[in-house]
Amino acid sequence: MYIHHHTCISPQQTFEHADVETLHESADNKLKAKEPVYKGIPPGILRRMGKAVRMGIGAALPVIKQQSLIDGIIIGTANGGMEDCIKFLNQIIDYEEGMLTPGNFVQSTPNAIAAQMGLLNKNKGYNITHVHRGLAFENALLDAMMMIKENPGNNYLLGAVDEISAYNYNIDLLDGCFKKEIIVNKNLYDTVSAGTIAGEGAAMFVVNDNAENAVATIKAIQTIHTKDEMEVSRVLQQFIQQTLPDNEKVDMLLTGENGDARLLKYYTEVESLFDEYTTIARFKHMCGEYPTASSVALWLVCNRHQWPAHMIKKQCKNSTVRNIIIYNNYRGLQHAFMHIVKYKC
Amino acid sequence: MSRVFVTGMGIISAIGDTVAKNREALINKQCGIAGLTLFHTKYTGLRPCGEIKVETHELKNKLRAHEKGITRSSLLALHAFKEAIADATLSANQLSSRHTALIGASTVGGMCLTDELYNDANKSENGSEYLSSYDCASVDLYLQSRYSMSGVINTINTACSSSSNAIMYGARLLKNGLAKRVIAGGTDSLAKFTINGFNALHILSPEKCTPFDRDRKGLNLGEAAAFLVLEKEEDIAGKKIYAELTGYGNSNDAFHPSSLSDKGDGPFLCMQKALQKAQLPASAISFINAHGTATENNDAVESQAMIRLFGTPPPFASTKANTGHTLGAAGAVEAVFGVLNLYYQEIYPGLHFSNAIEATGLKPETIYRQGSLQHVMSNSFGFGGNCTSLIFSKI
């Protein structure tokens, strides 16, 4: 599956005039998205959109403009419009199920993002929303790979969105997902405590089976559910054996290391599979942790930039980065591997 | 590409907690919609629902599901899942195999626990046991962990077409060689969130719903879970086969966030795509289990779309007057019913119908009868214009 267009709204300067060298800082253990001025969304509609819907549509609009014909929309989002969802819930409790306005209810369903994209672009094709928490984007990606195989020549909009809402931050904080002490993202990997920092964003891709002018190709993806780091390591070895040609090596391992001391064992185990040939890089200090954060990793691979020093954990000597493995892990249970081949700039 | 067969089914709904009991209820025109007795809301007595009359703690005892943080949605799912895997005689080894996928669907997930969620979302201490149980994925993560499943695991939420899309995704995994067997379906339990949401949209009926009736007053919510075991032709020698899944189509209506277009492009296109996938002419469809929610909008549009596609539509009915609208479970619930139509060669009557919608004159089936059914279509349309149609065929 080939990637042709890619956009990203994230806590970093990724949307317009992308500059990933400069690292924008987190505040209160949150990395909030730098939302652009949304051009092309009617103001009346924009005003009613929750942040997740807004970021998703905003990131998708230029992609759709560049590619006049999209045959379907495939979105991964763990929570969709969580802020709207709990606003509606709060109304139910606070007004004791009194007269409620349905706006928040309709906006809060996770499929509202893909639905709005379909609506704004009059797209009557395949339209689906995967919500499998830390593998919502990966399942969307697998779906897109199957669609392309089943429908040669078609183009699909593939993307992921999740937002920080005050509410899901609170729930996840109570659940021990975030650090109790305040840190800044540039020191994310230096901390040894449990928990990470929260993030959000939207990344969109146009994918098809056409190699010409593609920025990258997704060779393979695999997901597993396990708490056993040795099982993760075993499956990754098999994955690489199956997907990587015999005479090639992995140039870069891009991991979802997130500063949570409890999850370090998975990353240590995975990194130990690679020798000095492979550069090891990380991305969660840029976007924070959220269920579909791996979509930002994919955008970073597609983006035509030099790898900024702040991403590099271990630099190897080879200058071209072609074969990339992304390893992401959500809460020590949901793991995903992607093999991406990046084409020369 | 391999053919995909249904080799096992499980269901729990307001009309029964097994496939057999659901079939008996359908034959006997049993309506599971009544006043709420277990679920507490201000709308008790005002909005009848398809409530499963088993308390959550009874489900926990029956299923021996005493882990922390298990919600009613997960318990209903487990109930249906257990029946489906037993029916398909799947072993523990098969369930935990890398070749076995679980594709679930839900729209409410753990948000059935409104009060716990309210506290956990708004208070700074004393988190409940449900902190990681509110999302839709929590259901399938629970099943994954309980059965040590290691294949593709996914959760889909496209509102009321969620579990039809789960079945479609599961079939595609099989056809693409990404799984050898798939357990696909969905679950939803009653929730203040949905009762208040649909009520605010003024589409909840104060009476038992009347699908396709001229004087219909809206839908009744229900709760249910259903799963189907899908397997490939080459892997099922000697097994009981209920039906073949021959067609599926997904399309977006691209008209409005919470209502369908008058022309019904989404419904029309998903039915048309399903026929194309099954390589069948419209005339081959023997029966349609319609989405038929009994809202003003849905039944008018679905009728128009059926007329557009079929000219004279085949016999059809909606089982939502039996179970209520079970949202994320509805597609799988009605897939089970469609498979039963084929397996037993019988049509279940639609309930509470009196007069046809004037503009269409279409009348749903209202009498139980046996017949020769070759291909049954099952429609599911959701908010956000998410429309999906499935076709099951007789073996």
> Could you tell me the pLDDT band of residue A129, with boundaries at 50, 70 and 90?
very high
| Distance of alpha carbon A55 from alpha carbon A38, whole angstroms | 9
Number of C-beta neighbours around residue B283 at 10 A: 11
* Subunit contact B254:A85, Cβ cutoff 8 A: no
For residues B156 and B109, the answer to whether their CB atoms sit within 8 Å is: no
Backbone angles phi, psi at A223, to 5 degrees: -125, 150
Please give the structure tokens belonging to residue A293.
């954060």
Backbone angles phi, psi at A340, to 5 degrees: -125, 135
Chain A residues touching B144 at Cβ < 8 A: 225
N- to C-terminal Cα distance for chain B?
18
For residues B208 and B217, the answer to whether their CB atoms sit within 8 Å is: no
For residues B52 and B14, the answer to whether their CB atoms sit within 8 Å is: yes
B267 CB-side CA count, 13 A: 32
* Subunit contact A101:B200, Cβ cutoff 8 A: yes
For residue A67, pLDDT over 80 is answered with no
N- to C-terminal Cα distance for chain A?
19
| Distance of alpha carbon B176 from alpha carbon A304, whole angstroms | 32
Which one of A85, A105, A169, A175 makes the best mutation probe of the B interface by having the most chain B beta carbons within 10 Å?
A: A105
| Distance of alpha carbon B89 from alpha carbon B9, whole angstroms | 11
* Subunit contact B250:A115, Cβ cutoff 8 A: no
For residues A309 and A218, the answer to whether their CB atoms sit within 8 Å is: no
Judged by a CB distance cut-off of 8 A, whether residue B252 touches chain A is: yes
Closest partner CB to A123 (pick from B123, B252, B382): B252
Query: Between helices A51-66 and A112-120, what is the axis angle to 10°?
Result: 40
CATH of A217-342, one of 3.20.20.70, 1.10.1580.10, 1.10.3720.10, 3.40.47.10: 3.40.47.10
HEC letters along chain A: CEEEEEEEECCCECCCCCECCCCCCCECCECCCCCCCCCCCCHHHHHHCCHHHHHHHHHHHHHHHHCCCCCEEEEECCCCCHHHHHHHHHHHHHCCCCCCCCHHHHHHCCCHHHHHHHHHCCCCCEEEEECCHHHHHHHHHHHHHHHHHHCCCCCEEEEEEECCCHHHHHHHHHCCCECCCCCCHHHHHHCCCCCECECCEEEEEEEECCCCCCCEEEEEEEEEECCCHHHHHHHHHHHHHHHCCCCCCCCEEEECCCCCHHHHHHHHHHHCCCCCCCEEEECHHHHCECCCCHHHHHHHHHCCCCCCHHHEEECCCCCCCCEEEEEEEECCCEEEEEEEEECCC
Nearest chain A Cα distance for residue B312, angstroms: 25
Chain B residues touching A136 at Cβ < 8 A: 137, 155
For residues B71 and B191, the answer to whether their CB atoms sit within 8 Å is: no
| Distance of alpha carbon A240 from alpha carbon A217, whole angstroms | 16
Average pLDDT over residues A132-142: 98
For residue A73, pLDDT over 90 is answered with yes
| Distance of alpha carbon B49 from alpha carbon B14, whole angstroms | 9
Query: Which pLDDT does position A85 carry in this prediction?
Result: 87
* Subunit contact A142:B178, Cβ cutoff 8 A: yes
> Could you tell me the pLDDT band of residue A120, with boundaries at 50, 70 and 90?
confident
Closest residue of chain A to B203, computed from CA coordinates:
A102
Please identify among residues 17-56 of chain B the ones whose CB lies closer than 8 Å to any CB of chain A. 41-43
Structural domains for chain B? 4-235 (3.40.47.10), 247-393 (3.40.47.10)
Per-residue pLDDT of chain B (395 residues; tens, 9 = 90+): 789 999 999 999 999 999 999 999 999 999 999 999 999 999 999 999 999 999 999 999 999 999 999 999 999 999 999 999 999 999 999 999 999 999 999 999 999 998 899 999 999 888 999 999 999 999 999 999 999 999 999 999 999 999 999 999 999 999 999 999 999 999 999 999 999 999 999 999 999 999 999 999 999 999 999 999 999 999 998 999 999 999 999 999 999 988 999 999 999 999 999 999 999 999 999 999 999 999 999 999 999 999 999 999 999 999 999 999 999 999 999 999 999 999 999 999 999 999 999 999 999 999 999 999 999 999 999 999 999 999 999 99
* Subunit contact A110:B258, Cβ cutoff 8 A: no
For residue A111, pLDDT over 60 is answered with yes
Judged by a CB distance cut-off of 8 A, whether residue B370 touches chain A is: no
* Subunit contact B125:A174, Cβ cutoff 8 A: yes
Query: Between helices B265-278 and B296-310, what is the axis angle to 10°?
Result: 40
Query: Which pLDDT does position A345 carry in this prediction?
Result: 57
Residues in chain A: 345
Strands A323-330 and A279-282: unpaired
Closest partner CB to A175 (pick from B131, B145, B251): B131
Which one of B252, B256, B258, B271 makes the best mutation probe of the A interface by having the most chain A beta carbons within 10 Å?
A: B252
Query: Which pLDDT does position B209 carry in this prediction?
Result: 98
| Distance of alpha carbon A290 from alpha carbon A162, whole angstroms | 7
Is the CATH number 2.102.10.10 carried by domain A2-208? no
Average pLDDT over residues A96-117: 89
Chain B residues touching A223 at Cβ < 8 A: 152-153
| Percent of chain A surpassing pLDDT 70 | 99
Please give the structure tokens belonging to residue B88.
């398909």
Number of C-beta neighbours around residue A247 at 10 A: 5
Work out the mean pLDDT of chain A and round it to a whole number.
94
Longest dimension (CA), chain B: 61
For residues B88 and B124, the answer to whether their CB atoms sit within 8 Å is: no
Query: Which pLDDT does position A87 carry in this prediction?
Result: 87
| Distance of alpha carbon B148 from alpha carbon B285, whole angstroms | 39
Judged by a CB distance cut-off of 8 A, whether residue B68 touches chain A is: no
The answer to ipTM > 0.90 is: yes
Q: For A295-311, what is each residue's pLDDT tens digit? A: 999 999 999 778 999 99
| Distance of alpha carbon B97 from alpha carbon A289, whole angstroms | 30
Please identify among residues 261-290 of chain B the ones whose CB lies closer than 8 Å to any CB of chain A. 265-266, 269
Closest CA to B222 of B186, B271, B260, B249: B186
Domains A2-208 and A217-342 alike in fold = yes
**Domain segments of chain A as ranges:** 2-208, 217-342
> Could you tell me the pLDDT band of residue A66, with boundaries at 50, 70 and 90?
low
